[in-house]
Structure 1
Amino acid sequence: MTVIDFTAFIERLASASGEAIMPFFRTSLGIDNKNTGRDLDPVTEADRGAEAVMRRMIKENFPQHGIIGEEFGSERPDAEYVWVLDPIDGTKSFISGMPVWGTLIALMRHGVPAYGMMHQPYIGERFSGDNGAAFYQGRTGRRKLGTRRCASLADATLFTTSPRLMNEADRAKFAKVEEEVRLSRYGGDCYAYCMLAAGHLDLVIETELKPHDVAALIPIVHGAGGIMTTWEGGGPERGGRIVASGDKRLHDTVLKMLTA
Protein backbone atom coordinates (compact mmCIF):
# COMPACT_ATOMS: atom_id res chain seq x y z
CA MET A 1 0.00 0.00 0.00
CA THR A 2 1.19 3.56 -0.72
CA VAL A 3 0.21 6.74 1.08
CA ILE A 4 -2.22 7.65 -1.70
CA ASP A 5 -4.34 4.65 -0.71
CA PHE A 6 -5.06 6.31 2.65
CA THR A 7 -6.31 9.69 1.45
CA ALA A 8 -10.00 8.75 1.28
CA PHE A 9 -9.80 7.27 4.77
CA ILE A 10 -8.15 10.44 6.11
CA GLU A 11 -11.03 12.44 4.67
CA ARG A 12 -13.40 10.20 6.62
CA LEU A 13 -11.37 10.67 9.80
CA ALA A 14 -11.56 14.43 9.37
CA SER A 15 -15.33 14.38 8.87
CA ALA A 16 -15.91 12.12 11.87
CA SER A 17 -13.71 14.21 14.15
CA GLY A 18 -15.48 17.38 13.04
CA GLU A 19 -18.87 15.85 13.85
CA ALA A 20 -17.60 15.01 17.34
CA ILE A 21 -16.21 18.49 17.95
CA MET A 22 -18.78 20.89 16.55
CA PRO A 23 -21.56 20.33 19.13
CA PHE A 24 -19.16 21.71 21.76
CA PHE A 25 -17.82 24.79 19.96
CA ARG A 26 -19.06 28.11 21.39
CA THR A 27 -20.98 26.37 24.16
CA SER A 28 -20.54 26.32 27.94
CA LEU A 29 -18.42 23.18 27.91
CA GLY A 30 -16.35 21.99 30.84
CA ILE A 31 -12.60 22.64 30.76
CA ASP A 32 -9.89 20.66 32.54
CA ASN A 33 -6.34 21.88 33.05
CA LYS A 34 -3.67 19.27 32.23
CA ASN A 35 -1.03 21.49 33.83
CA THR A 36 -0.69 21.27 37.61
CA GLY A 37 0.99 24.68 37.76
CA ARG A 38 -0.37 28.15 37.11
CA ASP A 39 -0.14 27.92 33.32
CA LEU A 40 -3.30 26.78 31.56
CA ASP A 41 -3.08 23.68 29.35
CA PRO A 42 -6.77 23.10 28.63
CA VAL A 43 -8.50 19.94 27.47
CA THR A 44 -12.23 19.48 26.82
CA GLU A 45 -14.69 16.71 26.07
CA ALA A 46 -14.46 17.81 22.45
CA ASP A 47 -10.72 16.97 22.40
CA ARG A 48 -11.28 13.58 24.01
CA GLY A 49 -14.34 12.70 21.96
CA ALA A 50 -12.74 13.53 18.62
CA GLU A 51 -9.58 11.56 19.35
CA ALA A 52 -11.61 8.59 20.60
CA VAL A 53 -13.62 8.53 17.36
CA MET A 54 -10.51 8.65 15.19
CA ARG A 55 -8.73 5.97 17.22
CA ARG A 56 -11.72 3.66 16.93
CA MET A 57 -11.88 4.10 13.16
CA ILE A 58 -8.15 3.48 12.74
CA LYS A 59 -8.23 0.33 14.86
CA GLU A 60 -11.22 -1.02 12.94
CA ASN A 61 -9.67 -0.38 9.52
CA PHE A 62 -5.93 -0.73 10.16
CA PRO A 63 -5.39 -2.78 13.34
CA GLN A 64 -1.69 -3.24 12.52
CA HIS A 65 -1.02 0.51 12.54
CA GLY A 66 0.31 2.51 15.46
CA ILE A 67 -1.36 5.57 16.98
CA ILE A 68 0.10 8.55 18.83
CA GLY A 69 -2.50 10.96 20.19
CA GLU A 70 -2.36 14.03 22.38
CA GLU A 71 -5.09 12.88 24.75
CA PHE A 72 -4.72 9.08 24.99
CA GLY A 73 -1.03 8.41 24.43
CA SER A 74 0.74 5.89 22.20
CA GLU A 75 -0.06 2.44 20.87
CA ARG A 76 2.39 0.52 18.66
CA PRO A 77 4.58 3.62 18.06
CA ASP A 78 7.23 1.46 16.33
CA ALA A 79 4.85 0.17 13.63
CA GLU A 80 5.62 0.85 9.96
CA TYR A 81 2.59 3.14 9.72
CA VAL A 82 1.75 5.37 12.69
CA TRP A 83 -1.10 7.88 12.93
CA VAL A 84 -0.36 11.07 14.87
CA LEU A 85 -3.49 12.85 16.08
CA ASP A 86 -4.13 16.25 17.63
CA PRO A 87 -7.93 16.49 17.87
CA ILE A 88 -7.94 20.23 18.58
CA ASP A 89 -4.72 22.12 17.95
CA GLY A 90 -5.43 25.53 19.44
CA THR A 91 -7.65 24.51 22.37
CA LYS A 92 -7.13 27.92 24.00
CA SER A 93 -8.65 29.54 20.91
CA PHE A 94 -11.38 26.90 20.88
CA ILE A 95 -12.49 27.61 24.46
CA SER A 96 -12.37 31.35 23.68
CA GLY A 97 -14.78 30.94 20.77
CA MET A 98 -12.16 31.90 18.18
CA PRO A 99 -12.15 29.74 15.00
CA VAL A 100 -8.34 29.59 14.61
CA TRP A 101 -8.00 25.95 15.65
CA GLY A 102 -7.98 22.71 13.72
CA THR A 103 -7.79 18.95 13.84
CA LEU A 104 -4.38 17.61 12.84
CA ILE A 105 -4.11 14.15 11.28
CA ALA A 106 -0.72 12.80 10.21
CA LEU A 107 0.32 9.48 8.75
CA MET A 108 3.91 8.54 9.48
CA ARG A 109 5.81 5.82 7.64
CA HIS A 110 9.07 4.56 9.12
CA GLY A 111 9.06 7.58 11.43
CA VAL A 112 8.72 10.16 8.65
CA PRO A 113 5.56 12.28 8.14
CA ALA A 114 4.23 11.09 4.78
CA TYR A 115 0.83 12.80 4.68
CA GLY A 116 -0.84 15.48 6.76
CA MET A 117 -4.20 17.19 7.00
CA MET A 118 -5.48 20.17 8.97
CA HIS A 119 -9.29 20.23 9.16
CA GLN A 120 -11.26 23.25 10.40
CA PRO A 121 -14.88 22.05 10.58
CA TYR A 122 -16.44 25.35 11.69
CA ILE A 123 -15.10 27.28 8.70
CA GLY A 124 -15.22 24.21 6.46
CA GLU A 125 -11.60 24.17 5.32
CA ARG A 126 -9.07 21.40 4.81
CA PHE A 127 -5.36 21.75 4.09
CA SER A 128 -3.44 18.63 3.08
CA GLY A 129 -0.02 17.68 1.77
CA ASP A 130 2.27 14.75 1.02
CA ASN A 131 5.63 16.60 0.89
CA GLY A 132 5.42 16.70 -2.91
CA ALA A 133 2.30 18.87 -3.21
CA ALA A 134 -0.23 20.59 -0.94
CA PHE A 135 -3.88 21.48 -1.44
CA TYR A 136 -6.70 23.60 -0.03
CA GLN A 137 -10.30 22.42 -0.03
CA GLY A 138 -13.06 24.75 1.12
CA ARG A 139 -16.06 26.82 0.14
CA THR A 140 -14.18 28.30 -2.80
CA GLY A 141 -13.31 24.85 -4.15
CA ARG A 142 -10.02 23.01 -4.37
CA ARG A 143 -6.69 24.52 -5.32
CA LYS A 144 -3.00 23.78 -5.10
CA LEU A 145 -1.03 25.62 -2.43
CA GLY A 146 2.28 27.39 -2.89
CA THR A 147 4.43 29.53 -0.62
CA ARG A 148 5.47 33.00 -1.75
CA ARG A 149 8.97 34.26 -2.44
CA CYS A 150 10.42 36.41 0.32
CA ALA A 151 14.19 36.66 0.67
CA SER A 152 14.38 39.50 3.17
CA LEU A 153 13.22 39.84 6.77
CA ALA A 154 12.32 43.42 5.97
CA ASP A 155 9.59 42.12 3.65
CA ALA A 156 8.44 39.23 5.85
CA THR A 157 5.27 38.59 7.82
CA LEU A 158 6.00 36.62 11.00
CA PHE A 159 3.64 34.61 13.19
CA THR A 160 4.01 32.87 16.55
CA THR A 161 1.28 31.59 18.84
CA SER A 162 2.63 33.67 21.74
CA PRO A 163 6.11 34.75 22.88
CA ARG A 164 4.90 34.07 26.42
CA LEU A 165 5.10 30.36 25.64
CA MET A 166 8.88 30.72 25.20
CA ASN A 167 11.48 30.68 27.94
CA GLU A 168 13.38 33.89 28.58
CA ALA A 169 16.41 33.00 26.44
CA ASP A 170 14.34 31.87 23.46
CA ARG A 171 12.09 34.90 23.76
CA ALA A 172 15.12 37.17 23.50
CA LYS A 173 16.29 35.41 20.32
CA PHE A 174 12.80 35.59 18.85
CA ALA A 175 12.65 39.31 19.62
CA LYS A 176 15.77 39.94 17.52
CA VAL A 177 14.05 38.38 14.51
CA GLU A 178 10.78 40.16 15.27
CA GLU A 179 12.52 43.54 15.26
CA GLU A 180 13.58 43.01 11.64
CA VAL A 181 10.30 41.89 10.02
CA ARG A 182 7.69 44.01 8.25
CA LEU A 183 4.77 42.62 10.25
CA SER A 184 4.53 40.43 13.35
CA ARG A 185 1.30 38.85 14.59
CA TYR A 186 0.43 36.46 17.43
CA GLY A 187 -2.02 33.54 17.51
CA GLY A 188 -3.08 31.07 14.90
CA ASP A 189 -1.53 27.80 16.10
CA CYS A 190 -1.82 25.34 13.19
CA TYR A 191 -3.56 27.92 11.02
CA ALA A 192 -0.36 29.97 10.75
CA TYR A 193 1.48 27.10 9.07
CA CYS A 194 -1.38 26.59 6.62
CA MET A 195 -1.45 30.29 5.77
CA LEU A 196 2.30 30.08 5.15
CA ALA A 197 1.67 27.16 2.78
CA ALA A 198 -1.03 29.23 1.07
CA GLY A 199 1.36 32.15 0.49
CA HIS A 200 -0.22 34.65 2.91
CA LEU A 201 2.66 34.88 5.38
CA ASP A 202 6.36 34.05 5.34
CA LEU A 203 7.62 32.85 8.69
CA VAL A 204 6.46 30.93 11.77
CA ILE A 205 8.70 30.60 14.84
CA GLU A 206 7.70 28.58 17.89
CA THR A 207 9.10 26.58 20.81
CA GLU A 208 8.09 23.72 23.11
CA LEU A 209 6.08 21.92 20.43
CA LYS A 210 5.19 18.23 20.67
CA PRO A 211 5.22 15.72 17.77
CA HIS A 212 1.42 15.89 17.50
CA ASP A 213 1.67 19.68 17.06
CA VAL A 214 3.83 19.42 13.93
CA ALA A 215 3.58 15.99 12.27
CA ALA A 216 0.57 16.85 10.10
CA LEU A 217 1.89 20.30 9.19
CA ILE A 218 5.27 19.19 7.87
CA PRO A 219 3.96 17.52 4.65
CA ILE A 220 1.71 20.54 4.04
CA VAL A 221 4.49 23.12 4.37
CA HIS A 222 6.99 21.02 2.40
CA GLY A 223 4.39 20.13 -0.22
CA ALA A 224 3.71 23.83 -0.79
CA GLY A 225 7.39 24.53 -1.40
CA GLY A 226 8.29 25.73 2.09
CA ILE A 227 10.82 24.50 4.61
CA MET A 228 10.33 23.48 8.24
CA THR A 229 13.15 22.60 10.64
CA THR A 230 14.24 22.96 14.23
CA TRP A 231 16.12 26.13 15.18
CA GLU A 232 19.31 24.16 14.65
CA GLY A 233 18.27 23.08 11.16
CA GLY A 234 17.36 19.50 12.08
CA GLY A 235 14.24 17.47 11.33
CA PRO A 236 11.08 18.93 12.90
CA GLU A 237 9.10 15.71 13.36
CA ARG A 238 9.96 15.44 17.06
CA GLY A 239 8.81 18.98 17.78
CA GLY A 240 10.75 21.34 20.03
CA ARG A 241 11.87 24.74 18.73
CA ILE A 242 10.50 25.05 15.19
CA VAL A 243 10.94 27.44 12.26
CA ALA A 244 8.79 27.27 9.13
CA SER A 245 9.53 29.51 6.15
CA GLY A 246 8.12 29.96 2.69
CA ASP A 247 11.51 30.78 1.17
CA LYS A 248 14.79 28.97 1.90
CA ARG A 249 16.77 32.21 1.68
CA LEU A 250 14.70 33.66 4.50
CA HIS A 251 14.98 30.41 6.43
CA ASP A 252 18.76 30.42 6.28
CA THR A 253 18.88 34.01 7.56
CA VAL A 254 16.58 33.26 10.48
CA LEU A 255 18.44 30.11 11.55
CA LYS A 256 21.67 32.09 11.77
CA MET A 257 19.99 34.67 14.00
CA LEU A 258 18.35 32.10 16.27
CA THR A 259 21.52 30.10 16.81
CA ALA A 260 23.96 33.01 17.12
Structure 2
Amino acid sequence: MTGRKAQLADSAQIIETAHAMADAARRAVLPFFRHGDLVADNKDAAGFDPVTEGDRAAERAMRALLAERRPEDAILGEEYGTTEGTSGLTWVLDPVDGTRGFLSGTPTWGVLIALSDESGPLYGIVDQPYIGERFEGGLGQARVVGPQGEAKLVTRGPRDLQDCILFTTFPELGSADEAAAFRAVSDRVQLTRYGMDCYAYALLAAGQIDLVIEAGLNAYDIQGPMAVIEAAGGIVTDWKGGPAHMGGRVLAAANAAQHKAALDILSDWP
Protein backbone atom coordinates (compact mmCIF):
# COMPACT_ATOMS: atom_id res chain seq x y z
CA MET A 1 0.00 0.00 0.00
CA THR A 2 1.04 3.59 -0.60
CA GLY A 3 -0.39 6.99 0.24
CA ARG A 4 -2.27 8.24 3.25
CA LYS A 5 -4.44 5.17 3.91
CA ALA A 6 -1.38 2.97 4.20
CA GLN A 7 0.11 5.17 6.88
CA LEU A 8 -2.75 4.67 9.32
CA ALA A 9 -1.52 1.13 9.92
CA ASP A 10 1.70 2.34 11.54
CA SER A 11 0.49 5.63 13.02
CA ALA A 12 1.39 4.57 16.57
CA GLN A 13 4.97 3.90 15.52
CA ILE A 14 5.12 7.17 13.59
CA ILE A 15 3.94 9.12 16.63
CA GLU A 16 6.35 7.29 18.95
CA THR A 17 9.22 8.03 16.59
CA ALA A 18 8.28 11.72 16.32
CA HIS A 19 8.23 12.12 20.11
CA ALA A 20 11.55 10.32 20.43
CA MET A 21 12.98 12.74 17.86
CA ALA A 22 11.61 15.75 19.74
CA ASP A 23 13.09 14.41 22.98
CA ALA A 24 16.46 13.89 21.31
CA ALA A 25 16.38 17.39 19.82
CA ARG A 26 15.63 18.85 23.26
CA ARG A 27 18.64 17.12 24.78
CA ALA A 28 20.86 18.25 21.91
CA VAL A 29 19.81 21.89 21.71
CA LEU A 30 19.18 23.04 25.29
CA PRO A 31 22.87 23.11 26.33
CA PHE A 32 23.38 25.84 23.72
CA PHE A 33 20.42 28.06 24.72
CA ARG A 34 21.30 31.17 26.74
CA HIS A 35 24.91 30.08 26.74
CA GLY A 36 27.41 32.92 26.74
CA ASP A 37 29.74 31.26 24.24
CA LEU A 38 27.08 30.59 21.60
CA VAL A 39 28.38 31.49 18.13
CA ALA A 40 26.21 32.02 15.06
CA ASP A 41 27.25 31.66 11.44
CA ASN A 42 25.47 33.75 8.83
CA LYS A 43 23.93 31.85 5.89
CA ASP A 44 22.86 34.99 3.99
CA ALA A 45 25.57 37.25 2.58
CA ALA A 46 22.97 39.91 1.77
CA GLY A 47 21.40 39.94 5.24
CA PHE A 48 21.40 37.96 8.47
CA ASP A 49 20.20 34.36 8.51
CA PRO A 50 21.93 32.77 11.49
CA VAL A 51 22.66 29.13 12.21
CA THR A 52 24.24 27.79 15.39
CA GLU A 53 25.76 24.51 16.49
CA GLY A 54 22.52 24.05 18.41
CA ASP A 55 20.60 23.91 15.11
CA ARG A 56 23.03 21.39 13.67
CA ALA A 57 23.19 19.22 16.80
CA ALA A 58 19.39 18.99 17.02
CA GLU A 59 19.02 17.96 13.38
CA ARG A 60 21.82 15.39 13.65
CA ALA A 61 20.10 13.85 16.68
CA MET A 62 16.79 13.55 14.83
CA ARG A 63 18.40 12.13 11.71
CA ALA A 64 20.24 9.50 13.75
CA LEU A 65 16.95 8.26 15.18
CA LEU A 66 15.34 8.11 11.76
CA ALA A 67 18.27 6.15 10.36
CA GLU A 68 17.72 3.60 13.11
CA ARG A 69 13.92 3.46 13.23
CA ARG A 70 12.58 4.45 9.79
CA PRO A 71 15.39 4.25 7.23
CA GLU A 72 12.89 3.82 4.39
CA ASP A 73 11.53 7.38 4.82
CA ALA A 74 12.98 10.43 3.12
CA ILE A 75 14.18 13.46 5.10
CA LEU A 76 14.09 17.16 4.28
CA GLY A 77 15.97 19.18 6.90
CA GLU A 78 16.94 22.82 7.00
CA GLU A 79 20.59 22.25 7.89
CA TYR A 80 21.49 19.00 6.11
CA GLY A 81 19.20 19.00 3.09
CA THR A 82 17.48 16.01 1.50
CA THR A 83 17.96 12.30 2.08
CA GLU A 84 16.06 10.12 -0.37
CA GLY A 85 13.67 7.39 0.76
CA THR A 86 11.52 4.61 -0.67
CA SER A 87 8.32 4.76 1.43
CA GLY A 88 6.67 7.77 -0.18
CA LEU A 89 6.88 9.60 3.15
CA THR A 90 9.18 12.48 4.09
CA TRP A 91 10.15 13.76 7.52
CA VAL A 92 10.37 17.55 7.29
CA LEU A 93 12.61 18.98 10.01
CA ASP A 94 13.47 22.45 11.26
CA PRO A 95 15.75 21.87 14.25
CA VAL A 96 15.51 25.46 15.47
CA ASP A 97 12.77 27.55 13.89
CA GLY A 98 13.48 31.07 15.07
CA THR A 99 17.26 31.07 15.42
CA ARG A 100 17.22 34.86 15.88
CA GLY A 101 15.05 34.33 18.96
CA PHE A 102 17.32 31.48 20.04
CA LEU A 103 20.30 33.85 19.86
CA SER A 104 18.38 36.53 21.75
CA GLY A 105 17.36 34.22 24.61
CA THR A 106 13.62 34.40 23.94
CA PRO A 107 11.66 31.13 24.32
CA THR A 108 9.68 31.61 21.10
CA TRP A 109 11.82 29.34 18.91
CA GLY A 110 10.95 25.70 18.48
CA VAL A 111 11.79 22.33 17.02
CA LEU A 112 9.49 21.54 14.08
CA ILE A 113 8.79 17.99 12.93
CA ALA A 114 6.36 16.87 10.23
CA LEU A 115 5.70 13.64 8.42
CA SER A 116 4.36 14.30 4.93
CA ASP A 117 3.43 12.69 1.66
CA GLU A 118 3.18 14.41 -1.72
CA SER A 119 -0.03 16.22 -0.76
CA GLY A 120 1.16 17.68 2.53
CA PRO A 121 1.68 16.90 6.21
CA LEU A 122 0.01 13.94 7.90
CA TYR A 123 1.31 14.70 11.38
CA GLY A 124 3.35 17.40 13.08
CA ILE A 125 4.99 18.58 16.28
CA VAL A 126 5.90 22.08 17.46
CA ASP A 127 8.16 21.65 20.49
CA GLN A 128 9.46 24.42 22.74
CA PRO A 129 12.24 22.74 24.73
CA TYR A 130 12.97 25.50 27.26
CA ILE A 131 9.36 26.00 28.36
CA GLY A 132 8.73 22.29 28.02
CA GLU A 133 5.65 22.65 25.82
CA ARG A 134 4.90 20.22 23.03
CA PHE A 135 2.07 20.75 20.55
CA GLU A 136 1.11 17.84 18.28
CA GLY A 137 -1.52 17.28 15.64
CA GLY A 138 -2.58 14.71 13.09
CA LEU A 139 -3.12 10.94 13.03
CA GLY A 140 -5.89 11.37 15.57
CA GLN A 141 -3.91 13.70 17.86
CA ALA A 142 -4.59 17.34 18.76
CA ARG A 143 -3.03 18.16 22.10
CA VAL A 144 -0.47 20.17 24.02
CA VAL A 145 1.57 18.86 26.92
CA GLY A 146 3.43 21.35 29.11
CA PRO A 147 3.99 22.77 32.59
CA GLN A 148 0.23 22.91 33.23
CA GLY A 149 -0.36 19.34 32.12
CA GLU A 150 -2.14 18.11 29.02
CA ALA A 151 -4.92 19.89 27.11
CA LYS A 152 -6.82 19.36 23.88
CA LEU A 153 -5.97 21.77 21.08
CA VAL A 154 -8.99 23.64 19.73
CA THR A 155 -8.78 26.83 17.69
CA ARG A 156 -10.93 29.92 18.35
CA GLY A 157 -14.45 30.14 17.05
CA PRO A 158 -15.68 32.60 14.39
CA ARG A 159 -15.30 36.33 14.98
CA ASP A 160 -15.20 39.57 13.02
CA LEU A 161 -11.84 40.73 11.72
CA GLN A 162 -12.00 43.79 13.98
CA ASP A 163 -11.97 41.45 16.98
CA CYS A 164 -9.03 39.33 15.81
CA ILE A 165 -5.47 38.97 17.09
CA LEU A 166 -2.88 38.74 14.31
CA PHE A 167 0.76 37.59 14.56
CA THR A 168 3.73 37.63 12.23
CA THR A 169 7.48 37.37 12.73
CA PHE A 170 8.99 40.30 10.82
CA PRO A 171 7.34 43.74 10.57
CA GLU A 172 8.82 44.23 7.08
CA LEU A 173 7.31 40.89 5.85
CA GLY A 174 9.19 40.25 2.62
CA SER A 175 8.67 42.50 -0.39
CA ALA A 176 7.10 45.95 -0.34
CA ASP A 177 3.89 44.54 -1.85
CA GLU A 178 3.75 41.74 0.71
CA ALA A 179 4.29 44.19 3.55
CA ALA A 180 1.52 46.44 2.20
CA ALA A 181 -0.86 43.47 1.94
CA PHE A 182 -0.11 42.50 5.53
CA ARG A 183 -0.70 46.07 6.73
CA ALA A 184 -4.06 46.10 4.96
CA VAL A 185 -5.12 43.23 7.23
CA SER A 186 -3.27 44.53 10.29
CA ASP A 187 -5.04 47.91 10.06
CA ARG A 188 -8.40 46.17 10.55
CA VAL A 189 -7.68 43.78 13.44
CA GLN A 190 -7.88 44.44 17.15
CA LEU A 191 -4.23 43.61 17.92
CA THR A 192 -1.07 42.82 15.95
CA ARG A 193 2.02 41.26 17.52
CA TYR A 194 5.47 40.53 16.05
CA GLY A 195 8.49 38.30 16.52
CA MET A 196 6.94 35.06 17.77
CA ASP A 197 8.39 32.67 15.15
CA CYS A 198 6.77 29.20 15.23
CA TYR A 199 5.27 29.85 18.65
CA ALA A 200 2.65 32.03 16.97
CA TYR A 201 1.29 29.00 15.13
CA ALA A 202 1.22 27.02 18.37
CA LEU A 203 -0.80 29.77 20.03
CA LEU A 204 -3.25 29.74 17.13
CA ALA A 205 -3.74 25.98 17.55
CA ALA A 206 -4.24 26.51 21.29
CA GLY A 207 -7.09 28.96 20.77
CA GLN A 208 -5.22 32.09 21.87
CA ILE A 209 -5.08 34.03 18.61
CA ASP A 210 -6.89 34.20 15.26
CA LEU A 211 -4.41 34.73 12.43
CA VAL A 212 -0.78 34.29 11.42
CA ILE A 213 0.33 35.83 8.13
CA GLU A 214 3.85 35.35 6.75
CA ALA A 215 5.78 35.32 3.47
CA GLY A 216 8.99 33.79 2.21
CA LEU A 217 8.61 30.53 4.14
CA ASN A 218 10.17 27.19 3.29
CA ALA A 219 8.47 23.80 3.57
CA TYR A 220 10.29 23.06 6.82
CA ASP A 221 8.99 26.33 8.34
CA ILE A 222 5.31 25.49 7.89
CA GLN A 223 4.62 21.77 7.64
CA GLY A 224 4.88 20.95 11.36
CA PRO A 225 2.74 23.93 12.43
CA MET A 226 0.30 23.29 9.58
CA ALA A 227 -0.41 19.74 10.78
CA VAL A 228 -0.96 20.95 14.35
CA ILE A 229 -3.28 23.80 13.35
CA GLU A 230 -5.38 21.70 11.00
CA ALA A 231 -5.79 18.99 13.66
CA ALA A 232 -7.02 21.67 16.07
CA GLY A 233 -9.67 22.87 13.60
CA GLY A 234 -7.81 25.69 11.87
CA ILE A 235 -7.06 26.45 8.23
CA VAL A 236 -3.68 26.98 6.54
CA THR A 237 -3.43 28.11 2.90
CA ASP A 238 -1.42 30.43 0.73
CA TRP A 239 -2.63 34.00 0.13
CA LYS A 240 -4.84 32.84 -2.74
CA GLY A 241 -6.48 30.03 -0.78
CA GLY A 242 -4.31 27.30 -2.33
CA PRO A 243 -1.94 24.75 -0.80
CA ALA A 244 0.69 26.12 1.58
CA HIS A 245 2.74 23.08 2.55
CA MET A 246 5.64 24.02 0.27
CA GLY A 247 5.97 27.46 1.90
CA GLY A 248 5.90 30.88 0.29
CA ARG A 249 3.10 33.19 1.42
CA VAL A 250 1.13 31.60 4.25
CA LEU A 251 -2.18 32.47 5.91
CA ALA A 252 -3.09 30.47 9.02
CA ALA A 253 -6.53 31.07 10.53
CA ALA A 254 -8.44 29.76 13.51
CA ASN A 255 -11.73 29.40 11.67
CA ALA A 256 -13.36 29.79 8.27
CA ALA A 257 -14.69 33.26 9.17
CA GLN A 258 -11.27 34.65 10.06
CA HIS A 259 -9.70 32.93 7.06
CA LYS A 260 -12.19 34.41 4.58
CA ALA A 261 -11.91 37.91 6.03
CA ALA A 262 -8.12 37.93 5.72
CA LEU A 263 -8.09 36.13 2.36
CA ASP A 264 -10.51 38.66 0.87
CA ILE A 265 -7.85 41.31 1.52
CA LEU A 266 -4.67 39.35 0.75
CA SER A 267 -5.94 37.84 -2.51
CA ASP A 268 -6.32 41.31 -4.02
CA TRP A 269 -2.53 41.75 -3.98
CA PRO A 270 -0.16 40.47 -6.70
TM-score bracket relative to the smaller structure: over 0.9
Shift >2 Å, 4+ stretches: 1-5, 109-112
3-state SS in 2 of match to 1:184 = strand
**Separation in 2, partners of 1:73, 1:193:** 24
2:17/2:69 contact within 8 Å kept: no
**Separation in 2, partners of 1:11, 1:79:** 20
Moved more, 184-193 or 69-78: 69-78
**Separation in 2, partners of 1:111, 1:47:** 27
Name the residue aligned to 2:43: 34
Name the residue aligned to 1:50: 58
Name the residue aligned to 1:232: 240
3-state SS in 2 of match to 1:92 = helix
* Alignment: residue pair count: 259
TM-score if structure 1 supplies the norm length? 0.96
3-state SS in 2 of match to 1:163 = coil
Name the residue aligned to 2:4: none
Structure 1 stretches lacking a partner, 5+ long: none
1:206 equivalent in alignment to 2:223? no
**Separation in 2, partners of 1:53, 1:76:** 18
Query: Among residues 78, 84, 107, which one is paired with 1:70 in the alignment?
Result: 78
Q: Rate the CA distance shift 1:8–1:78 in 2: closer, same or farther, 3 A.
A: closer
Structure 2 stretches lacking a partner, 5+ long: 1-8
* Displacement of 1:198: 0.6
Name the residue aligned to 2:190: 182
2:25/2:62 contact within 8 Å kept: yes
Identity of aligned residues (%): 44
1:230/1:236 contact within 8 Å kept: yes
TM-score if structure 2 supplies the norm length? 0.93
Query: Among residues 186, 191, 200, which one is paired with 2:199 in the alignment?
Result: 191
1:130 equivalent in alignment to 2:150? no
2:73/2:86 contact within 8 Å kept: no
Name the residue aligned to 2:172: 164
Q: Output one character per residue of 1:27-53: Cα deviation in whole Å (capped at 9) or x when no partner.
A: 12111000011x110000000011011
**Separation in 1, partners of 2:229, 2:102:** 23
**Separation in 2, partners of 1:23, 1:130:** 30
Q: Output one character per residue of 1:127-162: Cα deviation in whole Å (capped at 9) or x when no partner.
A: 000075410001111111101113311100000001
Query: Among residues 5, 13, 31, which one is paired with 1:5 in the alignment?
Result: 13
Computed over aligned residues only, the root mean square deviation of the Cα atoms, in angstroms, reads 1.3
3-state SS in 1 of match to 2:172 = helix
2:133/2:146 contact within 8 Å kept: yes
**Separation in 1, partners of 2:194, 2:86:** 36
